[in-house]
A and B are shown apart, each in its own frame.
Chain A
Amino acid sequence: MSKRAIDAVFQGLFLLTDIRVMLRETAPQHNLDESQQEKVRSLFDALEKEMAVLREELA
């Protein structure tokens, strides 16, 4: 069992959920203001880290 991989899957899904909510908050035009853009960039960074864990653990 890889607890790290399991956690990374959930964490990745949760980060994607935060991005999903951002789409909702900015519908229908999805013009993100500066602070939203900053937030979404940090979500992407965090998501990439979780992807790296998954690659390390499972690939």
Chain B
Amino acid sequence: MKCAGTIDVRDVDESSINIDPIQVGGRLTADAMKAMIAYGDGYSVCDQCRKPFRLDYIRTPPIDQFHRDLASFVNMDTARVVPGARRGFQAVADAFISAGDPVLITALSHYTEVLAIEGRGGVIREIPKNESNIITSDLAAQKIEEVTREFRHSPTLLFLDHFDYQYGNCHEVEGIIRIAHQYDVPVLYNGAYTVGIMPVDGKKIGADFVVGSGHKSMAAPAPSGMLATTSEWAGRVFRTTGVTTDVTGRTFGIKEIGMMGCTLMGVTLMGMMASFPHVRERVNCWERELANGQKVVDALMAIEGTVIKSEYPRNHTLTRVDTTGSFDRVAQVHKKRGFFFSSALKGKGIAGIIPGATKVWKFNTYGMTGSQAEYLAAAFRDIARENGLAVTD
């Protein structure tokens, strides 16, 4: 079926249980879908834009209030919506980093943090992970010391992911931030895999900046996200234009330089806003999400030769699994080779695993119902049994 012309209807989530590691937290709520219907046209939020002509001042629809709600949601002082977490990283990088400045990330940081720093000419230094793939306070302290000796001053900024995209492991954010602050290093907390799916308290964590992803974890269309900060840093990262042009003498009111003026002027913002009441509620159901994830992890662990590569017990619904000793053994002799696995999953109505992957792969159970989690767990066990792998009951 086509939506229009050569564009297929996308019905992955209507026809299947989707376990794509990056997609599940960004699936829209019914209210966001309805907002998409009503606000799909270009600059649709600008109907009632009045002086001072800035997105976060618009009252109808209540975008001004939404900005205050977002800040309060992550317990920070000020927030802006941004076109994806990556643009939040970039805004902070632009405000803080000069060419040659040392900037810390971690061995499990997302690539967009690297690009944000590289774009400013910053010098990237990584805090290593330990043998369990965790970023610890001790390793952070060692690295800050090392970088401070190398550059004769402390790092300009630290980008820190609470849960990483590779393992979905929980890192020692509070301890690391405490140490970073002892060296006067401001910290950007990357909540792409937390804000919108579990409770996040920016002040309790001690973050200077909290970045969230609308399309990854806040049930919003892409590209959307948020950047929140404290009153200490708001003036710097959300600084306003002061220029007067030479020929026309124009000035540009209170447009924010780091935001490139207004950010999300249409359907992305309205989707994010429509989902927000549900998102605010759903973060309180994180334990239920973990329990659903556990059912699936237990099923995989029951299959002989399967190893969970993420920390265990799981603290996140995104999990990395190594099936080299199980499903990949089947792939070696199966007529479909590595594609047997994704094909078998597809046959059972499960989508989101990269076709051909049978060694190390990731999945995310976020947002599924209890029955869907049980169905998925049973599907993994059944595929194993159907292909001659031993499964512990």
Interface of B is mostly: helix
CB within 8 Å for A17 and B17 given contacts A28-B348, A29-B349: no
Asked if A24 CB lies within 8 Å of chain B CBs, one says yes
Q: What residues of chain A lie closer than 8 Å to B372, measured between beta carbons?
A: 27
Contact A27 B37 (CB under 8 A): no
Q: For window 298-355 of chain B, which residues contact chain A by CB distance below 8 Å? A: 348-350
Measured between alpha carbons, how far is A23 from B369 in the docked complex, in Å? 12
Nearest B-chain residue to A29, judged by Cβ: B349
Q: What residues of chain A lie closer than 8 Å to B27, measured between beta carbons?
A: 24
Asked if A21 CB lies within 8 Å of chain B CBs, one says yes
CB distance from A41 to the nearest CB of B (A): 18
Asked if A14 CB lies within 8 Å of chain B CBs, one says yes
CB within 8 Å for A14 and B34 given contacts A25-B369, A28-B348, A29-B349: yes
Measured between alpha carbons, how far is A28 from B234 in the docked complex, in Å? 46
Asked if B360 CB lies within 8 Å of chain A CBs, one says no
Asked if A48 CB lies within 8 Å of chain B CBs, one says no
Measured between alpha carbons, how far is A17 from B34 in the docked complex, in Å? 7
Contact B37 A28 (CB under 8 A): no
Q: What residues of chain A lie closer than 8 Å to B15, measured between beta carbons?
A: 27-28
Q: What residues of chain B lie closer than 8 Å to A24, measured between beta carbons?
A: 13-14, 27
Asked if B285 CB lies within 8 Å of chain A CBs, one says no
CB distance from A4 to the nearest CB of B (A): 17
Contact A20 B37 (CB under 8 A): no
Measured between alpha carbons, how far is A20 from B15 in the docked complex, in Å? 10
Q: What residues of chain A lie closer than 8 Å to B13, measured between beta carbons?
A: 24, 27
Contact B33 A17 (CB under 8 A): yes
Measured between alpha carbons, how far is A10 from B36 in the docked complex, in Å? 11
Contact A27 B17 (CB under 8 A): yes
Measured between alpha carbons, how far is A25 from B30 in the docked complex, in Å? 11
Number of A-B contacts (CB under 8 A): 38
Asked if B260 CB lies within 8 Å of chain A CBs, one says no
**Residues of B near any A CB (own CB < 8 A):** 13-17, 27, 29-30, 33-34, 37-38, 348-350, 369, 372, 375
Instruction: Count chain A residues whose beta carbon lies closer than 8 angstroms to a beta carbon of B.
Output: 13
Nearest A-chain residue to B346, judged by Cβ: A28
Contact A20 B34 (CB under 8 A): no
Contact A17 B14 (CB under 8 A): no
Asked if A45 CB lies within 8 Å of chain B CBs, one says no
Measured between alpha carbons, how far is A17 from B14 in the docked complex, in Å? 11
CB distance from A7 to the nearest CB of B (A): 12
**Residues of A near any B CB (own CB < 8 A):** 10, 13-14, 17-18, 20-21, 23-25, 27-29
Measured between alpha carbons, how far is A21 from B31 in the docked complex, in Å? 10
Contact A27 B349 (CB under 8 A): yes
Closest 6 CB pairs of A and B: A28-B349, A23-B14, A21-B30, A17-B33, A14-B34, A24-B13
Contacts beyond the supplied A28-B16, A29-B375: 8 A-B pairs with Cβ under 8 Å: A13-B34, A17-B33, A17-B37, A21-B33, A24-B13, A24-B27, A28-B375, A29-B349
Q: What residues of chain B lie closer than 8 Å to A23, measured between beta carbons?
A: 14
Q: What residues of chain B lie closer than 8 Å to A17, measured between beta carbons?
A: 30, 33-34, 37
Q: What residues of chain B lie closer than 8 Å to A20, measured between beta carbons?
A: 14, 30, 33
Contact A27 B30 (CB under 8 A): no
Measured between alpha carbons, how far is A10 from B14 in the docked complex, in Å? 21
Which has the most chain A C-beta neighbours within 10 Å: B13, B16, B348, B375?
B13
Measured between alpha carbons, how far is A29 from B13 in the docked complex, in Å? 12
20 contacting pairs across A/B (C-beta < 8 A): A13-B34, A17-B30, A17-B34, A20-B14, A20-B30, A20-B33, A21-B29, A21-B33, A23-B14, A24-B14, A25-B369, A27-B13, A27-B15, A27-B16, A27-B17, A27-B349, A27-B372, A28-B15, A28-B16, A28-B17
Q: What residues of chain A lie closer than 8 Å to B348, measured between beta carbons?
A: 28
Measured between alpha carbons, how far is A14 from B33 in the docked complex, in Å? 8
